[in-house]
């Protein structure tokens, strides 16, 4: 009996040690709620590994499997409250979830935000709990109408179809009769999104700015830790946060390859910038638009060095020319395109590979004469703003969300 108990204790100790080994990753002391972040990251990694196994067995595409897991644990029906009416509908064939806050007594017409969720162009949904709660809070606190777009995802569609969905839904919403239906003030409409949704929101802003019929239709744009370029995967933030949750560098590069339906064989070469080496002529004219040695302050660049290969793999941009398309990478747009963009809010996090994308875009926008608010969180990590309720409630999640909504309240 004692021997059996001893064996059970040894086995239990070994399992606990194995679990701790799997969960534990070294994190900077400044990151918000580190142990909770480790658990969240381990959960996401486990889901990724299950989806990869499903893919390997030929049962489903790994991204479809992963998104099924995510949505299964978090899908939420269109449930209205006394303060916010929630409905699922479609705008010109694109599914949307609309959150209608109560109008202020002195303002019969409401403000509005078109919101685009994140997820690497492949994951999540406007209908999962995290985005439902965020948009409901925005609608209530801003007394606004929030249109959350359920755009199509990889691998069902690839670039630029996600942009087309967002453009189509937004153009439909901006029609006078639709704005009238929702009691929206046409002069107080903004676009916003987080991560890949921030990418699509920035692309939408640029597309509107180049269309005479749509120019000046947006009062503000608010980009939350946006992904804005795929030319340099060795900015200081990519180097500093190479293995940081929730978005390690290799995962971000794979999202880019998936977005373009590209070849995974290119991933390792892209990580070391072989796709934009000096012998890749197509990239030469664009490098100045993301020259971080001049766009980033010394407090960010520190002792990091640029990674610029003399010779690389010219096949990559030949087979995936979308890498150099400003619709996918708004940071590389010409200066003329950036002029007259609406007032902009950009939220960045210290522990995020995408930190420098946002900071560089803020700098380029300022140089183009755009009014920009850069809101940086030293203890923030990628994705933190949607993690505000138990069991994934983070201090920095609540603070980022409050700061974001406060800016919208003051500027929209």
Question: Residues 344-356: pLDDT tens digits?
Answer: 999 999 999 999 9
pLDDT of residue 16: 41
Split at pLDDT 50, 70, 90, the class of 17 is very low
**Which residues are designated catalytic?**
195, 352, 382
- Burial (CB count within 10 angstroms: exposed 0-12, middle 13-18, buried 19+), residue 251: middle
* Structure token digits, residue 363: 């700098």
CA dist list (Å): 120 to 254, 279, 364: 9, 29, 24
| 23/41 Cα distance (integer angstroms) | 8
- Whether 203 and 330 have beta carbons less than 8 Å apart is answered as yes
- Whether 352 and 400 have beta carbons less than 8 Å apart is answered as no
Question: Closest by alpha carbon to 394, among 246, 276, 237, 270?
Answer: 246
pLDDT of residue 15: 43
- Whether 190 and 222 have beta carbons less than 8 Å apart is answered as yes
* Structure token digits, residue 13: 């100790």
Split at pLDDT 50, 70, 90, the class of 18 is very low
| 143/349 Cα distance (integer angstroms) | 28
**Mean pLDDT within 82-95:** 97
Output the pTM of the full model.
Answer: 0.95
Burial 296-329 (b: 16+ CB within 10 A, else e): beeebbeebeebebeebbbebbeebebbbbbbbb
Rounded to the nearest 10°, the torsion over CA 13, 17, 23, 29 is 110
Does 10 have pLDDT greater than 60?
Answer: no
Report the percentage of the chain scoring pLDDT > 70. Answer: 94
Query: What is residue 178's three-state secondary structure?
Result: helix
Mean per-residue pLDDT of the chain: 93
- Whether 349 and 377 have beta carbons less than 8 Å apart is answered as yes
- What structural domains and CATH numbers belong to the chain? 78-229+326-411 (3.40.50.1820)
pLDDT of residue 2: 57
**Mean pLDDT within 316-321:** 96
Tokens 């644990």, located at residue: 73
Does 105 have pLDDT greater than 50?
Answer: yes
| 224/230 Cα distance (integer angstroms) | 17
């Amino acid at each position: 009996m004692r021997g059996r108990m001893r064996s059970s204790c040894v086995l239990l100790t070994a399992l606990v040690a194995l679990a701790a080994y799997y969960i534990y990753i070294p994190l900077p002391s400044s990151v918000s709620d580190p142990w909770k972040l480790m658990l969240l990251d381990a959960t996401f990694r486990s889901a990724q590994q299950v989806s990869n196994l499903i893919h390997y067995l030929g049962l489903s595409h790994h991204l479809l499997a992963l998104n099924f897991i995510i949505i299964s644990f978090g899908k939420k029906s269109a449930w209205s409250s006394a303060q916010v009416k929630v409905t699922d509908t479609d705008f010109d064939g694109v599914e949307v979830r609309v959150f209608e806050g109560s109008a202020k007594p002195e303002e019969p017409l409401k403000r509005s935000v078109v919101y685009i969720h994140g997820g690497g162009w492949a994951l999540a949904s406007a209908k999962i709990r995290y985005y439902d709660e965020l948009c409901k809070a925005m609608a209530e606190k801003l007394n606004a109408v929030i249109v959350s777009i359920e755009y199509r995802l990889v691998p069902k569609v690839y670039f630029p179809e996600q942009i087309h969905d967002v453009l189509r839904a937004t153009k439909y919403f901006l029609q006078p009769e639709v704005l009238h239906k929702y009691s929206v003030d046409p002069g107080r409409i903004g676009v916003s999104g987080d991560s890949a949704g921030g990418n699509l929101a920035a692309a939408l802003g640029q597309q509107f700015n180049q269309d005479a019929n749509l120019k000046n239709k947006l009062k503000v744009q608010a980009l939350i830790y946006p992904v804005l370029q795929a030319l340099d995967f060795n900015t200081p933030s990519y180097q500093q946060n190479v293995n940081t949750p929730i978005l390690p560098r290799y995962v971000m590069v794979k999202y880019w390859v998936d977005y373009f339906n590209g070849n995974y064989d290119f991933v390792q070469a892209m990580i070391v910038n072989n796709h934009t080496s000096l012998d890749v002529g197509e990239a030469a004219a664009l490098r100045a638009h993301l020259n971080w040695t001049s766009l980033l302050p010394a407090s960010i660049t520190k002792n990091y060095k640029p990674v610029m290969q003399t010779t690389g793999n010219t096949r990559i941009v030949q087979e995936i020319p979308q890498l150099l398309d400003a619709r996918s990478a708004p940071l590389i747009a010409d200066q003329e395109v950036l002029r007259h963009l609406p007032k902009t809010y950009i939220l960045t996090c210290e522990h995020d590979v995408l930190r420098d994308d946002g900071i560089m875009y803020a700098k380029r926008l300022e140089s183009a004469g755009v009014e920009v608010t850069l809101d940086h969180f030293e203890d923030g990590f990628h994705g933190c703003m949607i993690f505000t309720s138990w069991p994934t409630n983070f201090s920095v999640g609540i603070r980022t969300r409050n700061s974001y909504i406060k800016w919208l309240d003051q500027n929209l």
